[in-house]
Amino acid sequence: MSTSTAATAGVLVELTAHPMQRAGAFALAALARRDHPQEVGEDEFGAVWALMTDDAAAATRRLDAKQPGAFLLAASYGLWPNCKMNIPSMRRLSAEQRAEAVEQWRAPRDPDCRIDAACALCGQAACGFFGKVDVPLAMSVEYRNTTVPGHAGLALCRGCLASFYALPYACYFQGGRAAILHSWDEAFLGPAIRGQVVETSRRIASMSTEKPAKTAYAREQVALERLRRYSHPVTADVSLIAFTNSNQEQEFSEYRISLPLAIWLRSTARQPERKAAWSALERACHSERVAGSAALAGLLVRQPHRIVGRVARYISTRTADSRGSEVGDEITGLVELLQSFVREVQQVNEQQLQEIVEVGNRAAALMTVTKKQVNTLVVAHRKPSDLRRWLHRCTVDWLLARENPALTSITDTSKPFISPTQLRWLFEYGDEAWLFRDLLFTAVLAELQRRGHQPDTQDQQEIKDALDEDVTDKEDEQ
């Protein structure tokens, strides 16, 4: 789809290639009670512009950003530094004068107001040039290296300018940073932004000084929640963009939730088995410092590749913790969820995954029959060379026990315990080898649970000691 100078003449607010303009355009549409920015007419546009100006002016009447009703004043530091809302000299003016200055800054642009340039984003006739005061992460008028000194910068039309003014309504604010959800899937972006506009409008209208409780990975949790609750299939990646336009420290961080991950996340809120295992996944990510739901959101959005390792450790802990079918069900469900994750999100080859799981099942059957301690696997899993030795020992045990009726009754012993190809996957595949080793480990423990094989008390204690040792090692490293 070609977008720049698209043939949508006559549309007041267009969607462009700029994620922040797009988020703002949908916020503007939400404030105008329209589903799509292109549906916003001239009257609604004027009304929303006036509403945004009133909100900004009302916030500016406060001198302190911590005062009730000053939400947009606080937000303005991170969005529009040097604007009329927060320059120090404004403090010497009365509340009325401050509000007036903001109204002047935000004076409505006449439909016929045109300069001899096209909007840099949508190609419509521009109404002026704008810099960092109006457009987040643009260059400031004073300091610039891309245009001549004193040039205000970006040519924008009324629609794009208003979209940037509406941006704070689309933002989730936390810790001095604004965050927006963005996707090229407009069917998703619309409702996601609408939900945030409702929240932000509530905060703007609130006269309470009570701040929302600080939680870890709050913006990641919001992103995950909006995605999992979305009622239609998503068709494009979803990005969480955290930014600040502050003079002290401009920042732009984009965390991309890939389309396969987005589809998988939605499935965890819809498919009953995955939904049931989701809380186990949250528990797997729980720590003393960060609640499970927050830590899981943080991992999924920022470092999804670490999920498998985290689950492997949790399953070790659960194996050592207690007995009973409840633990078995939890581990089985969790491992199935994990396997769906690596299959659908990390796009591990299905045949490779199946073969690794089969090796795990054979190892579990062997351990059950030979009464092998689970601790030996937990310890071996920590180091590739130890795991390789452990698998070699299992291969010998497999050969010795392959005629054993106890073993033949529960598994097919006609196959070799592990093939050279499978060994290569586990130890010679670079970064993916870690993933395969974790998958093997979780598959063995899940199969042991399915077979009802529980470590004895001594075994449990040794597993706990090994896990405690891991934690101590990590603390020493820090």
149 binds another protein (CB under 8 A): yes
DSSP 321-342: H--SHHHHHHHHHHHHHHHHHH
In the region spanning residues 231 to 270, those forming contacts with another protein, defined by CB under 8 A, are 235-237, 245, 250, 252, 254, 256, 258-261
Q: How far apart are CA 364 and CA 372, in angstroms?
A: 9
Helix axes 42-60 and 158-170, enclosed angle (nearest 10): 50
What mask of x and - would describe binding to another protein in positions 32 to 71, judged by CB under 8 A?
----------------------------------------
Task: State the minimum distance, in angstroms, from the CB of residue 162 to another protein.
Answer: 18
Count, residues near another protein per rule CB under 8 A: 49
Residue 135: name the closest of 118, 119, 153, 117 by CA. Answer: 153
- Interface with another protein (CB under 8 A), residue from 88, 150, 272, 420: 150
The DSSP letter of residue 113 is: -
Query: Cα-flanking dihedrals φ and ψ of residue 171, to 5°?
Result: -100, 145
For residue 2, give Cα distances in angstroms to 15, 117, 126, 236, 454.
Answer: 12, 21, 20, 17, 61
**H helices of 146-287, where?**
158-170, 186-205, 218-229, 259-267, 272-285
Q: Which stretch binds another protein (CB under 8 A): 15-23, 332-340, 358-366, 406-414?
A: 15-23
383 binds another protein (CB under 8 A): no
In the region spanning residues 425 to 444, those forming contacts with another protein, defined by CB under 8 A, are 431
Pair 115, 155: CB distance under 8 Å: yes
347 binds another protein (CB under 8 A): yes
160 binds another protein (CB under 8 A): no
Q: How far apart are CA 157 and CA 115, in angstroms?
A: 9
Task: State the minimum distance, in angstroms, from the CB of residue 330 to another protein.
Answer: 26
165 or 341: CB nearest another protein: 341
19 or 328: CB nearest another protein: 19
DSSP 163-204: HHHHHHHHPEEETTEEEEEEES-HHHHHHHHHHHHHHHHHHH
320 binds another protein (CB under 8 A): no
Task: State the minimum distance, in angstroms, from the CB of residue 179 to another protein.
Answer: 16
The residues that touch another protein, with contacts defined as CB under 8 A, are 1-5, 9, 16-19, 117-118, 120, 122-125, 132, 137-140, 142-146, 149-150, 153, 184, 235-237, 245, 250, 252, 254, 256, 258-261, 304-305, 345-347, 431
